[in-house]
Structure 1
């Protein structure tokens, strides 16, 4: 089972327009229950996960819309009433230039009670099952630490996808999976921006508490790298990525979660995650994809051992 902990949800709106100038009537409008955790959870549902739960702190009109969209998209949602209206994030795709403009409101600051209620709701939704919890997005260091500790105390596994002090603090509590992009890994480790990706993912794994934990670093068109303590794997698919990359990292995490929930190997999980990330970029709307296309792409992803069984 999969449970998402949504501490920084948003109503994600994508406008497709002819040209970003003056007054525009959108050619297409897509609204989804967004924020990184909900995006990843929705992708896991779209890829066939049996039951995906989510707990989200929501308030105001955007919060009401998020709840409606999340449930319509198959998430078993538990709502924690927030004290500040939930944010809205907007992406504008200029069809003439193929450029994307993104306008993201800051994540709402949550108090400790709201966070504790969200964690309790996620654990209750998981019940006796020892599944995978998803924690991603903008977080405070304290809340990231609390979440990892709470999940581990409940006997669950947790995947962490955040940045800054939340990432460094959360890692110290021992997550089972960390998924970050190159820039986030570089900032955490203090490596040079052009550091070799195998060194980045190995360095990230070294920061994890458990030798069996998994580290993943995504690197845009150069694919994704993973280390599980025994090997470093590189997953890549040749060809264009797509015009709507917003949410592709979240789709990647959703693909990982779906594969691991189904008992797939790390290699197969990386292939499905890559397929999900690329499929997400084909259509407007973060965390939306054609599941058949995602699996078709996954079948064409090359995953190879970069340094199998070598000292890391």
Structure 2
């Protein structure tokens, strides 16, 4: 089976993949006819985007998750052309189609279809694939769990990974994120809105975000990376707070930028960098991604170049290990 003959540093899990159709228009005007100068189709889904970026960054990776129908086969074929090792579970139902509309001013509108239903037997096949990861390597749990599936799925996967000495990264939202946190993944990457939703109140300032991050640390998380878009990144551990500032970049497409950030973080762990430098690489990867169309991933060379202009400042974290509201 594809992917089982190699020892990946990362296996990415995408339970809700999609074919991403990205349409560029000057201005989106509801109810009007639009002339479309550019249409792009990409294999999509958060974990798949992470796998594409890791491949570009020369990090050994296997992509797994759920695919189905002609769209699912198209995704598998495209990943094969990219040289990405894969080990998907195939469903009878069709993989969804997501439509992303980007405007000249950078505004993004998204239309995401619902994912196919998933049976328990198919989740068990996913668990078998996750068991291939060796101690010290990573499982990246990316995106929402499908509706109808037990929302403790990520939590159970994290518990089993810990028992084998495997590290876990959780980049999700909703109930899957909330339940997954209870198992204490090694790294989580919420954005401001996701962290606020988990914490139960709006977190606007850096100081408020640190309070939310410390509540995550209280659940056993080792690294919290809060993505703040063009405002940069906030990284929090029990010992330190890192504020990362990124250069102004003209955005072609923000789709998948957070997934590139995740890949940049994993690249830093692969290269055994200290956390401050891991954050620098992650921020550089996310920044580089907004300069590419659709979910096309930036090159490793572009990431290294942008990393030179990333600023990372740090201070001691006076951590309050109270779980907060969760």
**TM-score scaled by length of structure 2:** 0.86
Q: Following the alignment from structure 2 to structure 1, what is the Cα–Cα distance between the partners of residues 77 and 38?
A: 20
5+ residue gaps, structure 2, are 1-8, 321-326
Alignment of 1:244-259 (within 5 A): 244-259=253-268
Measure how far apart 1:93 and its partner are: 2.6
Q: Following the alignment from structure 2 to structure 1, what is the Cα–Cα distance between the partners of residues 38 and 79?
A: 20
Q: Which residue of 2 aligns with 1:22?
A: 33
- Aligned match for 1:6, one of 14, 35, 40: 14
- SS of 2:255's partner is coil
Mapped contact 2:216–2:224 kept (Cα < 8 A): no
- SS of 2:189's partner is strand
Q: Which residue of 2 aligns with 1:234?
A: 243
Q: Which residue of 1 aligns with 2:6?
A: none
Mapped contact 1:157–1:176 kept (Cα < 8 A): yes
- Aligned match for 1:75, one of 84, 102, 107: 84
Q: Following the alignment from structure 1 to structure 2, what is the Cα–Cα distance between the partners of residues 42 and 122?
A: 18
Measure how far apart 1:2 and its partner are: 0.8
- Aligned match for 2:42, one of 32, 35, 42: 32
Mapped contact 2:106–2:253 kept (Cα < 8 A): no
Mapped contact 1:205–1:213 kept (Cα < 8 A): no
Q: Which residue of 1 aligns with 2:127?
A: 119
Aligned pair 1:213/2:219, yes or no?
no
Q: Cα deviation per residue 1:19-75 (whole Å; 9 max; x = unaligned)?
A: 654264x433332221011111211221221x1011121111110111011222232
Q: Which residue of 1 aligns with 2:288?
A: 279
- SS of 1:245's partner is coil
Aligned pair 1:130/2:136, yes or no?
yes
Q: Which residue of 2 aligns with 1:177?
A: 187
Aligned pair 1:290/2:296, yes or no?
no
Alignment of 1:135-146 (within 5 A): 135-139=141-145, 141-146=151-156
Measure how far apart 1:212 and its partner are: 6.7
Q: Following the alignment from structure 1 to structure 2, what is the Cα–Cα distance between the partners of residues 224 and 183?
A: 14
- SS of 2:20's partner is strand
Mapped contact 2:137–2:166 kept (Cα < 8 A): yes
- Aligned match for 1:109, one of 107, 111, 117: 117
Q: Following the alignment from structure 1 to structure 2, what is the Cα–Cα distance between the partners of residues 304 and 217?
A: 15
Q: Which residue of 2 aligns with 1:159?
A: 169
Question: RMSD over aligned Cα, in angstroms?
Answer: 2.1
5+ residue gaps, structure 1, are none
Q: Following the alignment from structure 1 to structure 2, what is the Cα–Cα distance between the partners of residues 303 and 23?
A: 43
Mapped contact 2:223–2:237 kept (Cα < 8 A): yes
Q: Following the alignment from structure 2 to structure 1, what is the Cα–Cα distance between the partners of residues 107 and 212?
A: 34
Q: Following the alignment from structure 2 to structure 1, what is the Cα–Cα distance between the partners of residues 209 and 310?
A: 21
Q: Following the alignment from structure 1 to structure 2, what is the Cα–Cα distance between the partners of residues 112 and 287?
A: 33
Mapped contact 2:16–2:143 kept (Cα < 8 A): yes
Measure how far apart 1:18 and its partner are: 5.2
Q: Following the alignment from structure 1 to structure 2, what is the Cα–Cα distance between the partners of residues 202 and 287?
A: 34
Mapped contact 2:181–2:221 kept (Cα < 8 A): no
